[in-house]
Chain A
Amino acid sequence: MLRIGKLEWEQLRCHGEETYPYECCGVLLGQIDADGGKQVQTVVRCRNERLDSLRNRYGIDPRELVRIQRDARTQAKDIIGFYHSHPDHPARWSLTDLAEAHWTGCSYVITSVMHGCATETNSFNLAGYDDSKHFEDEDIRVE
């Protein structure tokens, strides 16, 4: 279960509308409890570094990630997941999403942006690693 406040929910969905027809991306900071339940406290926008293929790829600059990870620590928060948008594609993970996902136990939130409007948003929990790596559907509760 991924719990997220109304404000943060709107923030991550709007981001995809702003960058349409390109993919947006960002980091979710918060807490993971012992059962794997997650609480989003902050949504951090990132720049999509895949300038070569902005319409169908995203990448977060590791330098930005290092800073976000360090700043989160000072606020006693953790990186608990990431979000990105799929312009004119469904809110399902793609094979590329799976191949490029390496943060086991974190949430990968995908928003479908059709003709510039955010439609469905889904969350997937990354489980396993190497050959056993897979995405599990994860419920979202907007509070």
Chain B
Amino acid sequence: MKVLIPTPLRQYAGKQSSVEVAARTVAEMFSELTSQFPELRKQLFAEDGTLRRFVNVYVNDEDIRYLQLENTPVQEGDTVSIVPSVAGGVAIDNPVAATLSNDEILRYSRHLIMPEVGMVGQQKLKAARVLCIGAGGLGSPLTLYLAAAGVGTLGLVDFDVVDFTNLQRQIIHTVNDVGRPKLDSAAEKLTAINPFVNVRKFETRLTSGNALDIFRDFDIIADGTDNFPTRYLVNDACVVSGKPNVYASIFRFEGQASVFATQDGPCYRCLYPEPPPPGLVPSCAEGGVLGILPGLLGVIQATEVIKLILGSGDSLIGRLLLVDALGMRFRELRLRKNPDCPVCGANPTVHELIDYNQFCGIRGEEAPVRTGVPEIQPEELKARRDHGDNIFILDVREPHEYQICNLGGYLIPLGDLPARMNELDSSREIVAHCRSGVRSAKAVTLLRQAGFSKVKNLAGGILAWSDKIDPSVPKY
């Protein structure tokens, strides 16, 4: 069997352009080849013994990656080609060399005295353009640290205004900022920390229509979003525009982080090809989140961004970091690029940005949740109770939520309902409620299937009750 040696490796193979080898598999061929020419070994294999990532091996016309890798059988008459990859391009190099003023040199001195950063690294940071999606929980520490570290251009995308429930974790905003656009509040703090940073504000919802335009002027995208449609949109737009996606997400006490959509690494869709069904994974607004957790994960994101800019260290490309704050444990999963990935695979089927609300099964976030179960409005419930109607109130929230506030209902958490239906009287009129009306709609469905015909859902839950009937009931 003949092995074709590419031009750069011939100096290690006795200057021959091809070598005859007897072997039954590709692995045997390599071991035979490197025993004849030991110097070839370190050209072809990394220190851990795996084939270097830029070395392609073909048996006749087939890449061994699509056969049986190194176990691919070979036989007399086959031709094995070894071809290092050929790629490059103008890519993300910023041609404008950033120079540092004396004030900046003083400010960054703790960076400059580390050889891993130094003047060259600090200039790279200054030349870098990083876009952060979301100026909330993750975006707060992420942008604060990136600004402090001297990233020259920081873009922010957000359309929200600061409210009181944000302050438990979104540390870039203060009490005085409540009611202000998050972008104005954040930009003010970032400029106060580092006036050398050029903050660019994009006060808009990121959409399939504007994402590529906004991404154009940035080198790295950091995803600090809290919903699936935007997460898939950011991922696909990063793949399409060839920009790395520094990702993190948080829920309750757990978080995850990775770097997606680099040339060789997997993308978010390689990990999660399809979004979960709507409603299965609760958002932070529904399930809660430890206020410190976005601090932990946002700082990990910032670290990954800086490493990508400096080009040093081992990045999270191909690794998913799992953070469990309650157990204080960090684990990691190896991620592989999926050759069949619809976005970044060998034969992608997604070539342009799509409708991500539709993809995630969401009819539009502004639309009220349509549950399709019989409902009662808070005003009607109030009137009927005042009238003395004997209505049974079923609260399907969790006990710790009941402690925050309640309507004096009978508590059976949604998860316990199937086992505890016998506590309910099917002949009575029942109104189920939760915080916002989503969980109680599921309860109504369950109960109706079980034969409870006189059960209704309180539209809008406790939140609507507080808004429309009794403002002394706190909203959470």
User: Residues on A close to B: CB < 8 A?
Assistant: 23, 25, 27, 32, 50, 52-53, 55-60, 62-63, 65-67, 69-70, 73, 78-80, 82, 84, 86-87, 89-90, 93-106, 108, 126, 129
Contacts and interface: CB of A to CB of B under 8 A. Distances in A.
Given A94-B89, A96-B89, A102-B54, A89 B240 contact: no
B105 to A, nearest CB: 24
Given A62-B83, A78-B17, A56 B89 contact: yes
A50 B93 CA distance: 17
B88 A89 contact: no
Given A59-B85, A60-B86, A73-B17, A103 B8 contact: yes
Interface stretch (B29-37, B56-64, B248-256): B56-64
B432 to A, nearest CB: 49
A53 B83 contact: no
B345 to A, nearest CB: 11
A32 B7 CA distance: 9
A100 B91 CA distance: 11
B8 A23 contact: no
B94 to A, nearest CB: 10
A84 B4 CA distance: 25
B89 A73 contact: no
Given A52-B239, A52-B242, A102-B55, 19 more contacts: A27-B86, A50-B87, A50-B242, A53-B89, A53-B91, A53-B241, A56-B91, A56-B242, A57-B90, A57-B263, A59-B85, A62-B58, A62-B63, A65-B56, A66-B81, A78-B7, A95-B91, A100-B89, A101-B88
B97 interface: no
B287 interface: no
A73 B241 contact: no
Chain B interface, >50% SS class: mixed
Interface residues of B, number: 35
Q: Which 6 A-B pairs have the closest CB atoms?
A: A53-B242, A96-B91, A57-B89, A97-B88, A102-B84, A59-B87
B11 interface: yes
B194 interface: no
Nearest to A78: B7
A66 B83 contact: yes
A103 B263 CA distance: 19
B89 A103 contact: no
B410 to A, nearest CB: 57
A111 to B, nearest CB: 12
Contacts of A129: 43
B79 interface: yes
Nearest to B344: A52
Nearest to B43: A129
Contacts of A27: 86
B291 interface: no
Contact of A63 (B58, B242, B263): B58
A104 to B, nearest CB: 4
A71 B95 CA distance: 38
B8 A102 contact: yes
22 contacts: A23-B90, A32-B7, A50-B89, A52-B239, A53-B91, A53-B241, A53-B242, A56-B242, A57-B91, A57-B242, A65-B56, A65-B83, A69-B83, A73-B4, A73-B18, A90-B95, A94-B90, A95-B311, A97-B88, A99-B88, A100-B54, A100-B85
